[in-house]
Amino acid sequence: CFTHYILSKFIQIFKGYCLMRTMSSNRPNHYDVAIIGSGPLGCTFARKLLEAKKKYNVVMLEAGSKVSNPPGSHLQNTFRYQKDINSFTNVIRGHLQILSVPTNYIYPDNIDQEAELKNGTIHLNQNPEQKREDNLSAAAATYCVGGMGTHWTCATPRLRGDERFPYLIPDDEMEKLYDEAEGYFRTSPDPYKNDINPPMLHTTVLERLQEYYRSIKISNENEPKPLPLAVNYKKPYNLWTGSYDILGGDKNYNKENFHLMDNHLVKRLICMRKTSNETEINTVIGLLARNLNENKDVFITANVFIVCGGSILTPQLLYNSMEKIIPLSSPQFPPPKFPLSLPLPRNHYLLPHMPSLGKNLCEQSLAFCQIALKKDILNNMYTDGRWKKEVDEHKSKYPNDPIYIPFDTPFPQCLVPYSGESGNENGKDRPWHAQVHRAAFSYGDTPLPVDNRVILDFRYFGKTRHNKKNEVQFSDTCKDMYGMPQPTFHVKASEKDTKYNHKMMIEMTNAALSLGGFLPGSEPQFLSPGVALHITGTVRMGTDENDSVVDKNLRVHKVSNLFLGSNGVIPTAIAANPTITSAALAIKSANYIIERLNNGEFEGGENRFGNYHGYSRL
């Protein structure tokens, strides 16, 4: 009846109201730890804190939305992308936001003169301050819950030789940190080692690659081997590790002391500065975030703050919160607008100046090609006794298929390790590492008629040596699409870098030709600078505040409770994928934070600042 219908609707609305009140009341005004960024490193910090013996309230803020289910999980685990790897390429492209787009020379001289088209536009990360020749044109960020962990390649090689930094963290300690990080990431040194029968494509390619490198006299320790991957292989699928898995899955995501705030852009860290016995003490007292859904600012307090926004967005936030060398009264740098009443001058609420912020930027060069496997390699594989049964079954089931490789055969995953640099560029130095496999990237998609089973990708990563002039700067006039200071790159390859890159290209070309012929359109080439997405050094770790941003525990110099998790903390020039190393460093930092939380060193954050006029406090 109508009365029953009205009553049921009232009960439904009342329950919803009560649920909203409960959710609101369950969100504390103050947190033990605030983590900015929900990617692999933010989730590494969060997991350590959530699994600590003592219960800590942890809030994680993310500017983007939830795009995968569960939130932060790897998008490639979707059935379609497991079956059709090419289609995942556009997913990756769609989640990458290019950081700096030069606009000073775009005006075409043959445009209709009645049309309106201007140089120097500033919309959607367009940047008139960016010189095209200095740009990392493919450098990008991902804004979503899970960050890059929703679409990364999951390659997790450890650093080797001179890539490491034993002067800061001894190798034996680093090995233990790697072990723990690899547990979080579900890393396997050989993703297919537990398969009863070795996968035919992977094994064949690895063996032929080893043959080639032995022919050029590579040492045993540097010969090709399986590529370490953060993946759980369950035939016929690879279950790729995403940020959600690194967090610990449901058991941590659903804990009552974990609070995820998506669509919240952190704009500024608010710092309290005091001087005691002529020693400057800086403490972050809160953060200002923009609720992008409701278009309003909120203020959050915590005892500890951890910024995990990537190698460019992390220093961007610090810059926006930092004291500049230019006097605050300068018209070039107007005083920051805080929507609150301040009992002290505004510069007392800025982070201290960081002379090394954004400098020593290193990004790997990337040589790339694709081949179709040689006929003799395929024919030998078809007749190899190890796979005869699989081949015969496939031929029987699909008699019209001209390729006899079963459809559920996993792709090759091979690594040619970094072998270091002696300083003699005319010798046999190989300051690069290589990955030979079939995977999805933001580049290198194959034409639809081409069968993926016979295609191989060759990716050779060369390290870029440190140079303080290689840096990212942040504009005081131009803003990015989120209203934050626009990043501008100033990056040049050194003469030594270019010589090694040329040698790397020769090696890749010869190795590729030993296995097959080049796919038209994917012949050997250097890809656009920044496409590796492996930028390091921008907030580098060190002992000297004039030459680094954080100490070996990833605490920002001169700031008592601010920590960074980023590939940007890695202080050395590297050729390997940086994520697992950054996660190992995050674990060390989290252990340091937990120890000091336990002894009360960071307590009292909610009482450091008392006036919250003009914005809502969560």
Q: Say what percent of the chain tops pLDDT 90.
A: 72
Q: Please give the DSSP secondary-structure letter assigned to residue 85.
A: G
Task: Provide the pLDDT confidence category of residue 14 given band limits of 50, 70 and 90.
Answer: very low
Q: What is the pLDDT, as a whole number, of residue 339?
A: 46
Q: What is the pLDDT, as a whole number, of residue 427?
A: 54
The domain 30-103+119-154+241-357+535-571+586-618: what is its CATH number? 3.50.50.60
Q: Among 139-143, 226-230, 277-281, 479-483, name the one with the lowest average pLDDT.
A: 277-281
Q: What is the pLDDT, as a whole number, of residue 420?
A: 82
Residue 447 pLDDT more than 90?
Answer: no
Q: What is the pLDDT, as a whole number, of residue 567?
A: 98
Q: Are residues 465 and 497 in contact, defined by beta-carbon separation less than 8 angstroms?
A: yes
Residue 115 pLDDT more than 80?
Answer: no
Q: Are residues 560 and 551 in contact, defined by beta-carbon separation less than 8 angstroms?
A: no
User: In angstroms, rounded to a whole number, what is the distance separating the alpha carbons of residues 33 and 28?
Assistant: 12
Residue 194 pLDDT more than 80?
Answer: no
DSSP string over 110-178: TS-TTS---SS--STTEETT--GGG--TT-EE--BTTGGGGT---B-PPP-GGGS-TTTS-HHHHHHHH
Q: Are residues 346 and 328 in contact, defined by beta-carbon separation less than 8 angstroms?
A: yes
Residue in 89, 57, 27 with CA at minimum distance from that of residue 441: 89
- What is the rounded average pLDDT of the residues 585-610? 84
Residue 212 pLDDT more than 90?
Answer: yes
What's this model's pTM, rounded to 2 decimal places? 0.90
Distances (CA, A) of 380 to 206, 207, 213, 386: 14, 12, 20, 11
- Predicted confidence (pLDDT) per residue in 226-251, tens digit: 999 999 988 888 899 999 999 999 99
Q: Are residues 537 and 362 in contact, defined by beta-carbon separation less than 8 angstroms?
A: yes
The residues that bridge with 485 in the sheet, in sequence order, are 479
Q: What is the pLDDT, as a whole number, of residue 346?
A: 58
Task: Provide the pLDDT confidence category of residue 36 given band limits of 50, 70 and 90.
Answer: very high
Task: Provide the pLDDT confidence category of residue 612 given band limits of 50, 70 and 90.
Answer: very low
**Dihedral of the CA atoms 30, 31, 32, 36 (nearest 10)?**
-130
DSSP string over 448-506: TTS-GGGEEEEEEEE-----TTSEEEEEEEEE-TTSSEEEEEE----HHHHHHHHHHHH
Hey, is 419 helix, strand or coil?
Answer: coil
Radius of gyration of the chain (CA): 26
Q: What is the pLDDT, as a whole number, of residue 615?
A: 43
Q: What is the pLDDT, as a whole number, of residue 8?
A: 52
Q: Among 112-121, 290-299, 377-386, 394-403, name the one with the lowest average pLDDT.
A: 112-121
Residue 86 pLDDT more than 50?
Answer: yes
Q: What is the pLDDT, as a whole number, of residue 168?
A: 98
Active centre residues (catalytic): 534, 577
53 vs 109, more confident? 53
- What is the rounded average pLDDT of the residues 193-197? 76
Task: Provide the pLDDT confidence category of residue 280 given band limits of 50, 70 and 90.
Answer: confident
Q: What is the pLDDT, as a whole number, of residue 616?
A: 45
Q: Among 145-154, 445-454, 486-495, 513-522, name the one with the lowest average pLDDT.
A: 445-454
Q: What is the pLDDT, as a whole number, of residue 4?
A: 54
Task: Provide the pLDDT confidence category of residue 317 given band limits of 50, 70 and 90.
Answer: very high
- What is the rounded average pLDDT of the residues 537-545? 97
Distances (CA, A) of 455 to 90, 343, 401, 406, 451: 19, 65, 16, 15, 7
- Predicted confidence (pLDDT) per residue in 494-540, tens digit: 999 999 999 999 999 999 999 999 999 999 999 999 999 999 999 99
Task: Provide the pLDDT confidence category of residue 350 given band limits of 50, 70 and 90.
Answer: confident
- 273-282, 363-372, 607-616: range with highest mean pLDDT: 363-372
Computed over every residue of the chain, the mean pLDDT equals: 88
Q: Are residues 377 and 349 in contact, defined by beta-carbon separation less than 8 angstroms?
A: no
Q: What is the pLDDT, as a whole number, of residue 329?
A: 41
Residue spans of the domains in the chain: they are 30-103+119-154+241-357+535-571+586-618, 192-226+365-462+492-528
DSSP string over 521-559: T-SSEEPPTTTT---B-TT-B-S-TTT-SB-TT-BBTTB
Residue in 413, 407, 394, 406 with CA at minimum distance from that of residue 204: 413
User: In angstroms, rounded to a whole number, what is the distance separating the alpha carbons of residues 420 and 431?
Assistant: 5
Q: Are residues 64 and 145 in contact, defined by beta-carbon separation less than 8 angstroms?
A: yes
Q: What is the pLDDT, as a whole number, of residue 517?
A: 97
Q: Please give the DSSP secondary-structure letter assigned to residue 249.
A: T
Tokens representing 250? Answer: 């449901």
Residue 210 pLDDT more than 70?
Answer: yes
Task: Provide the pLDDT confidence category of residue 422 given band limits of 50, 70 and 90.
Answer: low
Q: What is the pLDDT, as a whole number, of residue 18?
A: 41
- What is the rounded average pLDDT of the residues 185-210? 91
- Predicted confidence (pLDDT) per residue in 550-566, tens digit: 999 999 999 999 999 99
